[in-house]
Structure 1
Amino acid sequence: MTYCVGLDLKDGLVMLSDTRTNAGVDHISTFGKMHVVEVPGERVIVLVTAGNLAVSQAVVNLLHEGVEHDGGTDTLLSVPSMFRAAQLVGAAVRRVFEIDGPGMAAQSVPFDVSILIGGQIAARSLRLFQVYAAGNFIEATPDTPFLQIGEHKYGKPILDRAVTYDTPLADGVKLALISMDSTLRSNLTVGMPVDLLVYRRDALAVELRRRITEEDEYFRAIRQRWSDALREAYRTIPLPDWG
């Protein structure tokens, strides 16, 4: 399993993904699940993936090699808008299902993949989409400015309470990391290191890309201070007076 989150904020985009795959008692692997297409001054497109690793890798490879769509062949370097990029990811997912779906079904392996795709192309808007295993997708909006895939239930309450469209980018990074930490603490199938990307609206270049390990001082401080803050918060709440 995995946990990935994307925040589409007024000032830009925050994307965060873990790297754990095939967690088990004796088999834990690490694979990067963040993929970046960047042509400075022209486009920045970021994908994070969850689900079956073989399926997600096949989808990403197709997106680089070219996917037949609307009578032509496109890649993430050629699509004219983020909406078309989301459509292309959906088309790639359906193509992989056509190729591998029957064989997977014969082995009782579910076709499980979900993808967040966010970014901006010159003269177009910054957008963030979530693509499902059927190839259809939804978009983040100012009313719901974040999307999650994978093991999302542990980190969602934090985002629900704190993230708004007007949240500054730096605060968005902090909240995404707190959300990730809550997931790491509660689910062994999500693991370090985690990959972080920050993109500032209209910059058309990645502002920050960082792999965060267990030794990262800022992430360690977040883990400790968030735990301390939660303990202090519950202590300051009055006791029930139910008799």
Structure 2
Amino acid sequence: MTYCIGLNLEHGLILASDSRTNAGVDDIRRTGKMRLFVSEGEYVVAALSAGNLSLTQNALNLIDQRSTLDGGRPGIGKATSMFDVAQMVGDALREIRKRDEAYLRDSGIDPTGSFIVGGQIRGEAPRLFLVYSEGNFIESSPEMPYFQTGESKFGKPILDRVITPQTSMTEACKCVLVSFDSTMRSNLSVGPPLDLLLYRRDSFSVALRQRLVEDDPYLQTIRREWNETLRRGVRELPGPEWLRDAAD
């Protein structure tokens, strides 16, 4: 399992993914789940993958392979909109599933995967899509400015309470890392290194790409401060009248 987040805000996009692919007590493996496609001044596209790693890797590799055989251009470079990119990723995922699914099921392996695809192509605003395992997809909106995929339930409450399209990039980055910390604390199948990408609207270049390892000082600060903030918040909540006598 893994955990990925994509946010589409007024000032740009934030995308983040973990790197854990196997989480047994004696078998922990790490592989990055973020793939970037960049042509400075023309487009920036990021694809975050969750689920069966062979399916998701092969889907993206298929896009690149076909475009290379067709003239050497990156596959994403053929797209004229982010809708085209999402459709391209969904179609490739369908094709790989059709080829491999029966064999995977025969071996008891889950043959599903999904993507968060976000970016901006010159001529349109930044856009964010969630591509399901079946190849269909949905787009973010002002009412739902973020997507999660993978092990999403532990990190969702902080996003629901804080994130709006108007949230600043700094506040959103902090919120994303808190979401990851909450998830990693409750689920062994999600873990660092964490890959964080910040894209500023209309820049057509990557503003920040940061990898946070297990002992990263800021990640440690998030863990420590968020734990203390939650404990302090619970202590400071007023108690109900009906509990006071019984508790004392």
TM-score range (shorter-chain normalised) is: over 0.9
CA contact (8 A) 1:43 1:119 kept: yes
Q: Does the residue aligned with 1:142 lie in a helix, a strand or coil?
A: coil
CA contact (8 A) 1:66 1:74 kept: no
Give the paired residue count: 238
Distance, in Å, in 1 between the alignment partners of 2:216 and 2:150 is 24
Distance, in Å, in 1 between the alignment partners of 2:195 and 2:120 is 19
Q: Does the residue aligned with 1:76 lie in a helix, a strand or coil?
A: helix
Is the radius of gyration larger for structure 1 or structure 2?
Answer: 2
> How far has the Cα of 1:5 moved from its partner?
0.3
> 2:45 maps to what in 1?
45
User: Equivalent pairs: percent with the same residue?
Assistant: 45
> 1:228 maps to what in 2?
228
> 2:109 maps to what in 1?
109
CA-to-aligned-CA distance 1:122-171 (integer Å, 9 cap, x gap):
11221000001100001111111000000000000000001001001111
Distance, in Å, in 1 between the alignment partners of 2:141 and 2:2 is 24
Distance, in Å, in 1 between the alignment partners of 2:87 and 2:74 is 11
TM-score of the pair, normalised by structure 1: 0.95
**108-117 or 30-39: which moved more?**
108-117
Task: State whether structure 2 residue 128 is matched by structure 1 residue 134.
Answer: no
Letter in 2 for 1:234: V
> How far has the Cα of 1:110 moved from its partner?
2.5
Task: Report 1:4-23 matches (<5 A).
Answer: 4-23=4-23
Task: Note the aligned Cα RMSD (angstroms).
Answer: 1.4
Distance, in Å, in 2 between the alignment partners of 1:25 and 1:227 is 25
4+ residue segments displaced more than 3 Å: none
Structure with the higher helix share, 1 or 2: 2
> 2:190 maps to what in 1?
190
Gaps of 5+ in 2: 68-72
> How far has the Cα of 1:74 moved from its partner?
8.3
Distance, in Å, in 1 between the alignment partners of 2:94 and 2:74 is 15
Task: Report 1:32-181 matches (<5 A).
Answer: 32-66=32-66, 75-181=75-181
Letter in 2 for 1:179: S
TM-score of the pair, normalised by structure 2: 0.93
Letter in 2 for 1:35: R
Distance, in Å, in 2 between the alignment partners of 1:80 and 1:74 is 13
Distance, in Å, in 2 between the alignment partners of 1:207 and 1:229 is 30
Letter in 2 for 1:229: T
CA-to-aligned-CA distance 1:13-65 (integer Å, 9 cap, x gap):
00010000111121110000000001110000001100011111111211221
Letter in 1 for 2:117: I
Letter in 2 for 1:97: R
CA contact (8 A) 1:18 1:191 kept: yes
Q: Does the residue aligned with 1:115 lie in a helix, a strand or coil?
A: strand
Distance, in Å, in 2 between the alignment partners of 1:217 and 1:40 is 31
**217-226 or 18-27: which moved more?**
217-226
Q: Does the residue aligned with 1:178 lie in a helix, a strand or coil?
A: helix
